Amino acid sequence: MYDSGKIIAGIVIFLLFVTFPFYYNMGKAVAKPDPSVDTPVIKQMEKKQCIESKQAMKTLHMQLLNDWRDAVVRDGQRLYVATDGKSYNMSLQNTCMHCHSNKKKFCDECHNYMAVKPYCWDCHIQPKEGA
Amino acid sequence: MKMLVPLSAVIVMIIIALAGVEAAGLQALFGIAIPYIAFLVFVIGMVLKVINWAKSPVPFRITTTCGQQQSLPWIKQNKIENPSTCFHTFIRMVLEVLLFRSLFRNLKTELNDGKVVYGSDKWLWLFALVFHYSFLVVLIRHIRFFVVDMPFAIEIIEALDSFFQVGVPLLYLSGLGLLVGAIFLFLRRIVIPQVRYISLPADYFPLFLVIAIAITGIIMRYFTKVDVVAVKNLTMGLVTFSPVVPEGIGSIFYVHLFLVCTLFAYFPFSKLVHMGGVFLSPTRNLANNSRMERHINPWNYPVHVHTYEEYENEFRDKMKKAGLPVEKE
C-alpha cells in the first residue's frame, strides 16, 4: 500500500463518521417516552377521549395546531368542529392545556425524545408546573 | 431500455418492501437484518475499495493542469490550477471537494454553422452543489433518530434548515433541495443528446433510487405520517444493539428504509464510490513537480548500467596505449 499513513488516517476519519451513533450513545440510558394523561381534569372525565382519535392526535396534532393558529390569528375563527360533530374552542391554552395541564409529563416526553423543539412557547406563556 | 431497467428495479424494490411488510409480516427482516447487513457492506466495502486503490502504484505525476506551471521566477505560476507544493495541492483538493471546481469548467458543445463552438454551462455545477449539500444535510439531520441527546452543532444545522418555518412539521429546505437536485441531474441526462447517449443503467439507477428515497421521506414527514416515536424506538434499538420491532409503524417507513439500505449496500460497488474516490484521484491529488523532483517507478526492473566512466576506468591503460583520448588521465 502506498501513502499508508494518509490512507489509514482517511479510513479512520471515515469510520469515526459512520459509526458515530454507535459510540455516541454508549453509557447513556435510552428512556422511551411515556406521555402521561394523569391530570385532575382527565381523571374526572367519564370517557377519556381527546378531540380526535388517539392515533390522529398522535400523528396530526402539529398540523391541527398550525391550522388552529392560522384560523384564530388570521381569520378570527375560533370554533372547531371535530370529526364526531362536537365543537371546541380553538385555543392551545384554554382547550388543550385545560386537560393536558402536565406539559412536562405530556408534551415534553415525546418532543424531547425526538429532539423536536416546537415553537408554541415562543408566543404562548408556558404553564407553571411544580417540578 | 437504459432507463426502463433501473426504473423497474426501483419499483420492484418498493413492491418487495411493501409485500414483505404488509403481506408476509417480515418487519424484523426489513427493520433489523437488512439495515445491519447494508451498513456492514457499506463500511467494509468502502474500506476495502480505498485500500485496493491505495495498493495501485502511481509512479508518475499525472496531474491535470490548466494553468502556468512553476517556471522561471518572473513567470507567474498559477498555484491552484497547477500546484507544485503540497500546500497548494491541498488547497486545490479542498476547493475541488467542497466547491466542485472542475464542474465549474463544464462546457456546452454546439454546432454553429458547421463549426463546433463551446459555451459556458454552469447549471451542472450549481445543481450538483445543491444536490450534494442537501444530501449531506439530510443525512446529518437523520442523526436525531440515532442519538439520545442531540449534539448542539446538529441542532443548529436543523434550525437553519427549517429557518423559514413553513407549515408544521417545519419544511426542511434540504429535503426540497435533494429532490430538485436529483431531478435536475436526471433531466440533464435525458435532455442533452450527448449525455443521453453515454448514459447507462448504472447512471440512472442511483438517481431513481435517490429520487424514490427523497419522495418517500417527504411523504412520510409531510403527508401520510408514521409513528415517529416508534421509528425512533426501532433505530435506537439498532444502534444500541438491542433491536426491537415496535408495532404500528407505517409500511412506507419500511419502503424508505429498504431503499436507503439498497443505496448503502450498492454504494461501494458503483459510481457512487466517488465519495471516496475524489480524495484518491491521482490527477487531482498530486503536485506537478516533475521538473523539480525525480520520480522513480517503483516496479522498475533493476538494470545494470555500465557507464562511460566505468568503461574508461576499466580500459584506460589500453586506451592510452592505443592513443585514444581519455577524459581523466
Residue B214: band (very low, low, confident or very high) from pLDDT cuts 50, 70, 90: very high
CB contact under 8 A, B147 and A3: no
ipTM: 0.89
- Which residues of B are less than 8 Å from A60 in CB distance? 225
Residue A81 distance to chain B (closest CA, Å) = 21
Beta bridge partners of B108: B119
pLDDT at A131 over 60: no
pLDDT of residue B316: 93
Residue B320 CB: number of other CB atoms within 10 A? 12
> Across the A/B interface, how many CB contacts are shorter than 8 Å?
80
Nearest CA among B126, B122, B161, B125 for reference residue B141: B161
| A23-40 burial code (b ≥16 CB/10 A, e <16) | ebbeeeeeeeeebebebe
Q: How far apart are the first and last CA of chain A?
A: 60
Q: Which residues of B touch A (CB under 8 A)?
A: 39, 42-43, 46-47, 50-51, 54-58, 143-144, 146-151, 155, 165, 167-169, 225-229, 232-233, 236, 239-240, 276, 279
Only one residue has cell 436543523, namely B158
Residue B213: closest CA among B177, B249, B260 = B260
Which of B147, B225, B226 has its CB closest to that of A25?
B147
Inter-chain touch B232–A20, beta carbons under 8 Å: no
CB neighbour list of residue B188: distance below 8 Å, 6 or more residues apart: B123, B124, B127, B195
Alpha carbons B148 and B171: distance in angstroms, whole number:
23
Closest of B156, B154, B142, B273 to residue B214, by C-alpha: B142
User: Are residues B284 and B63 in contact, defined by beta-carbon separation less than 8 angstroms?
Assistant: yes
* C-alpha distance from residue A88 to each of A56, A105, B29, B90 (Å): 16, 24, 44, 64
Residue A130 pLDDT: 58
Going by their DSSP bridges, the two strands A79-81 and B115-120 should be labelled as unpaired
Residue B51 has pLDDT above 60, yes or no: yes
- Reported pTM: 0.89
pLDDT band at B76 (very low <50, low <70, confident <90, very high): very high
Structural domains of chain B in order of their starting residue, each with its CATH number: 4-302 (1.20.950.20)
pLDDT digits (tens, 9 = 90+) for B276-310: 999 999 999 999 998 888 888 878 888 888 999 99
Note the pLDDT tens digit of each residue in B79-110: 999 999 999 999 999 999 999 999 998 888 88
- For chain B, give the percent of residues with pLDDT over 70: 100
